């Protein structure tokens, strides 16, 4: 009971809502918001990517690692749901942020919107499409290394040029 | 006046229509087209394995 109370208090302390605005005059607040968003992105994507890579490795390696992968398979669905939930929140929060601050639109923001929409669209089609061919195409497109690198670069550039 | 013009010039750095801005947009669109093309190519390559000549 005490442990649960401690964890709840810790989570409450970390997640206490605090008003902060991206168009604030203070440069620190703007950049900190950006780094928090990047941190959320890492939390949303890194466990899912690592789990996926390990599963693929285990299937090809076989033996002991295949048994471990089967055990890990139990947590695959919750981690996938967490990945979808966090990225959906991030996408819609990002779009709202863009609409509210559209007067500051620059090429990095526009590129970011295009890349995010493409990845979100491919993720949605991957989840909801029933066609095998569409699923295969979207699975490959959603995990394209080039697109991931492009997104990371654009997000970091967007944060670094936030005060301009 | 001079300072204002200078600031406006600085703001043009990454704005849409500027050289750097256009370059960033071109790189993004190019990377997206390349990714989609590469994905299609990958699927076509795996679906039609090369037939060995006897």
Question: Taking CB atoms and an 8 Å limit, are B39 and A144 in contact across chains?
Answer: yes
Q: Considering CB atoms only, which of B10, B20, B28 is closest to A115? A: B28
Question: Taking CB atoms and an 8 Å limit, are B32 and A118 in contact across chains?
Answer: yes
Cα gap A79→A95, rounded to integer Å: 24
Contacts of A154 in chain B (CB under 8 A): 28
DSSP for A118-160? HHHHHHHHHHH---HHHHHHHHHHHT-HHHHHHHHHHHHHHHH
Contacts of B22 in chain A (CB under 8 A): 107
Question: Taking CB atoms and an 8 Å limit, are A154 and B28 in contact across chains?
Answer: yes
Cα gap A23→A91, rounded to integer Å: 19
Contacts of B47 in chain A (CB under 8 A): none
Q: Tell me, what DSSP letter sits at residue A63? A: T
Question: Taking CB atoms and an 8 Å limit, are B16 and A107 in contact across chains?
Answer: yes
- Give Cβ neighbours of residue A74 (< 8 Å, ≥ 6 apart): none
Is pLDDT of A19 > 90? no
Q: How many other CB atoms are there within 10 angstroms of residue A63's CB atom? A: 8
pTM score, whole prediction:
0.78
As given in the structure block, the two tokens for residue A32 are: 């900190």
ipTM over 0.85: no
> Does A120 reach chain B within 8 Å, measured CB to CB?
no
Helix spans in chain A (H): 2-14, 27-61, 64-100, 107-128, 132-142, 145-160
Q: Is A144 left (phi over 0), alpha (psi -120 to 50) or beta?
A: beta
Where are chain A's structural domains? 29-160
Q: Which of the residues B10, B23, B39 would you substitute to probe the A interface, choosing the one with the greatest number of A C-beta atoms within 10 Å?
A: B39
pLDDT in tens, A121-159: 999 999 998 888 888 898 899 988 999 999 999 999 999
Is pLDDT of A12 > 60? yes
pLDDT in tens, A25-74: 676 788 888 888 899 899 999 999 998 888 888 877 777 777 777 777 78
């Amino acid at each position: 009971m005490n442990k649960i109370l401690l964890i709840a208090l810790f989570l409450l302390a970390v997640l206490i809502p605090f008003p902060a605005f991206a168009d604030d005059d203070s440069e620190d607040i703007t950049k900190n918001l950006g780094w928090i968003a990047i941190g959320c992105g890492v939390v949303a994507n890194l466990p899912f990517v690592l789990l996926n890579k390990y599963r693929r490795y285990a299937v090809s390696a076989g033996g002991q690692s295949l048994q471990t992968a089967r055990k890990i398979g139990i947590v695959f669905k919750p981690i996938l749901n967490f990945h979808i939930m966090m990225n959906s929140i991030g996408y819609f929060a990002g779009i709202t942020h863009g609409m509210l601050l559209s007067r500051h639109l620059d090429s990095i923001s526009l590129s970011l919107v295009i890349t995010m929409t493409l990845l979100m669209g491919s993720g949605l089609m991957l989840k909801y499409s029933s066609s095998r061919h569409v699923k295969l195409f979207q699975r490959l497109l959603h995990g394209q290394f080039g697109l991931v690198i492009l997104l990371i670069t654009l997000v970091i550039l967007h944060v670094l040029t936030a005060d301009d | 006046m001079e300072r204002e013009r200078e600031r406006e010039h600085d703001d043009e750095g990454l704005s849409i229509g500027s050289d750097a801005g256009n370059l960033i947009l071109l790189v993004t669109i190019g990377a997206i087209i390349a990714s989609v093309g590469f994905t299609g190519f990958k699927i076509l390559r795996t679906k039609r394995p090369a037939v060995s000549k006897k």
